[in-house]
Chain A
Amino acid sequence: MAKKMKNTPHEQYINAQRKEKRIVLSWQLIIFVSFFVLWEVSSRMHIIDPLLFSSPSKVVALLQTKFMDGSMISHVQITMFETILGFLIGTIGGICIASLLWASDRFSRIADPYLVILNAMPKVALGPIIIVALGPGMVSIVSMGAIVSIIITTLVVYAGFKDVDPNYEKVLISFGATRWQRFKEAVFPATLPTMVSTLKVNVGLAWVGVIVGEFLVSKKGLGYLIIYGFQVFDFTLVMSSLLLIAIAAAIMYKIVEKIEGWLMKHTS
């Protein structure tokens, strides 16, 4: 009988880890496949209404034709564009407002109750007003994407500014630093990790704002396709759009996660 090679403890550990990873991945695959199989089968056997819930095969067929004739890609692009813009404006705007709040204690005390109310308020409820004010177009949709994240970013980042150990500022004061220098050299860089951590939340919020905005006004975009499909009773179109949103949102989330990792490494 061949003598079995003895594994070192480290190899055993690595093997155990690998095995666990395989099990998790298998389960994820099983759930994924069975979901679509179940959907397809129950739709064909009329367990669920195929008119309302469509089926994976119809969704795939629709996506295929729509991507082939080029009519789908522009919808995806426009929604992605609006989301990214809303995300950037919300995040950067929030950081700017937080900086203003830090710059003046009095201003922050005055603004406090308004921020609390704005934060508590469901921002998408402002949709109709935004559309009236900014017109039924992309500006309104991007604003919706921005407004859902800007207040919470302001609050989180401002709290981060206040949380910075005052002794860093004391070091700077002892060198005669101005308030702006204190902000630039200590407060802002010390809060970068907090800012970075808002990115992931904000990208999700921007999707909410943009899709709701598209529901309300647009003639293009994935949110528009959902509403349109709903109105003309084309639920295959609704399902297809949902699937595309899920994929696009996941990709964007992953990208932001990568950026976050990179920023964390290079800022702290």
Chain B
Amino acid sequence: MSFLSVNHVTHYYFSKSKATQALKDVSFSVEEGEFVSILGPSGCGKSTLLSLLANIIHPTEGKISLNDQPISTLDDSIGYMLQQDYLFPWKTIMDNVLLGPKIKKTTESSTNEKAERMLEEVGLHKISTSYPDALSGGMRQRVALVRTLITDPEILLLDEPFSALDYVTKLTLEDAVADLLATYKKTTVLVTHDIGEAISMSDRIIIMDTNPGSIKRMYDVPLELRNERPFNVRRHPKYQRIFDKVWNELNTKSIIPTSSKIVGDQHG
């Protein structure tokens, strides 16, 4: 049985005037320790899918389970990072990071130290008493990541964590996040509209179709790229070919839904 499994999930948003189908019959699974990217154009339902996985909204139809348990019965195994950092501007960096333990009432004497150590690990020194306003976008995103990781979730969900950053910051942060995740060996689902990011960070890419959101293809990133750091992947001789392949997948209209077909890299 898979670590995370999503079975025939369909989701509608209801309003007075209409029902919007955001997702249609989405099924996939993620193995423990795997890094999966969900790639698709804006508005295809990526954020919806991730908030379903985060148990913040509940699917109209279908089941989601983690370790064979329906996620609605779990409350502390999922770490979810929103599209923007959403650091609380009225709290110091330290208080922001300690929000999870505070809510879960798991604060211990060592929690403070752990927070300091994790902030150091993502390259943030002596900022714990500052307020979020004083930090750059990249730094804030690092803090948000630490805030998510400090509760030690079994699975990490990242919603376009780098989309609001400038290019240089983005590339730096991709490496930092990859290092951190390698250290903590987290199962991760990353949502993005950036092909390069998907290729460079993940083991597997799920390509989504829009209107309604559904799975179009799955793509396994070649083994030799998986263990490279994101920045090196982007410079790898194979990178461009994979990019083109994913680009084509993303831009061809699928005539027959082939949601569960797995397309490997045939070029070897």
Q: Chain A residues in contact with chain B, CB under 8 A?
A: 165, 167-168, 170-177, 181, 185-186, 189-190, 192, 267-268
Contact = CB atoms under 8 A, between A and B. Distances in A.
A186 B82 CA distance: 15
A171 B75 contact: no
A185 B102 CA distance: 10
Contact of B99 (A165, A167, A170, A175): A175
Contacts of A173: 56
Interface in B65-94: 75-76, 78-80, 82, 84, 86, 88-90
A34 B234 CA distance: 78
B56 A185 contact: no
A167 B90 contact: no
A174 B55 CA distance: 7
Contact of A186 (B56, B79, B80, B88): B88
Contact of A176 (B82, B88, B89, B104): B104
B88 A174 contact: no
Contact of A172 (B51, B78, B84, B99): B99
B100 interface: yes
B180 to A, nearest CB: 18
B255 interface: no
Contacts of B151: 175
B86 A174 contact: no
A163 B88 CA distance: 15
B19 interface: no
Given A170-B51, A170-B56, A175 B89 contact: no
8 contacts: A167-B82, A170-B51, A171-B82, A172-B99, A174-B79, A181-B103, A185-B103, A189-B90
Given A167-B82, A167-B84, A181-B103, A174 B56 contact: yes
Contacts of A185: 88, 99, 102-103
Contacts of B80: 170-171, 174
B97 to A, nearest CB: 12
B94 to A, nearest CB: 15
Name B's interface SS.
Answer: loop
- Chain B interface residue bracket vs A: 20 to 34
A185 B103 CA distance: 9
The 6 lowest CB-CB distance pairs between A and B, nearest first, are: A174-B80, A176-B75, A175-B103, A175-B100, A177-B103, A189-B90
Interface in B32-65: 51, 54-56
A171 B86 contact: yes
A171 B51 CA distance: 11
A189 B56 contact: no
Given A168-B88, A171-B82, A267-B90, A176 B76 contact: yes
A268 B88 CA distance: 10
Contacts of A192: 90
Contacts of B78: 174
A69 to B, nearest CB: 52
A163 to B, nearest CB: 15
Contacts of A172: 99, 103
Nearest to B101: A175
Contact of B54 (A165, A174, A189, A268): A174
B103 A176 contact: yes
Contacts of A177: 103
Given A174-B78, A176-B75, A176-B76, A190 B103 contact: no
A190 B87 CA distance: 12
Contacts of B56: 170, 173-174
A190 B90 contact: yes
Given A176-B75, A189-B90, A268-B89, A171 B99 contact: yes
Nearest to A182: B103
Contacts of A267: 90
Contacts of B79: 174
B66 to A, nearest CB: 14
B86 A167 contact: yes
B132 to A, nearest CB: 12
A268 B90 contact: yes
A170 B78 CA distance: 13
Nearest to A171: B86
A242 to B, nearest CB: 42
Interface in B101-152: 102-104, 151
Given A172-B103, A176-B75, A192-B90, 14 more contacts: A167-B84, A168-B86, A170-B80, A170-B82, A171-B86, A171-B88, A174-B56, A174-B78, A174-B79, A174-B80, A175-B100, A175-B103, A175-B151, A185-B99
Contacts of B75: 176
Q: Which of B75, B89, B100, B103 has the most CB of A within 10 A?
A: B103
A181 B88 CA distance: 14
A174 B81 CA distance: 9
